[in-house]
């Protein structure tokens, strides 16, 4: 299985291409849906890397795939501007998930 990138900017795309990950750069909801469907149909793709911007702007598209499909796995990655998450994201997530204060 291989990884595939769906990015909103050329810098992330270029960095991932240098690491050997193929992908596309898109800028609209329509193209996101098309590329996601195309990547899902390709059975050689096991992981789809998608920039956080798309997850924030179009959660209904990304969440649909995450919740209704076992494969491919969708991983949200920060873009060149850094992550949009707050600094204690992991700790807060664990606290919420298991109910313990860390």
Share of the chain above pLDDT 70, in %: 78
DSSP states along 57-100: H-HHHHHHHHHH-SSSEEEEE-BTTB-SS-TTHHHHHHHHHH--
pLDDT at 63: 85
Mean pLDDT score, 49-65: 86
Give the model's confidence band at 77: pLDDT under 50 very low, under 70 low, under 90 confident, else very high.
confident
Question: pLDDT band for position 47 (50/70/90)?
Answer: very high
Residue with tokens 């992550």: 83
Residue 74 has pLDDT above 80, yes or no: yes
């Amino acid at each position: 299985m291989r990884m595939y990138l769906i990015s909103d900017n050329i810098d992330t795309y270029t960095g991932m291409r240098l690491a050997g990950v193929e992908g596309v750069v898109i800028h609209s909801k329509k193209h996101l849906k098309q590329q996601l469907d195309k990547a899902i149909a390709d059975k050689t793709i096991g992981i789809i890397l998608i920039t956080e911007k798309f997850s924030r702007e179009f959660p209904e598209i990304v969440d649909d795939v995450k919740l209704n499909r076992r494969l491919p796995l969708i991983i949200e990655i920060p873009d060149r501007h850094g992550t949009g998450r707050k600094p204690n994201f992991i700790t807060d997530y664990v606290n919420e998930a298991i109910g313990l204060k860390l």
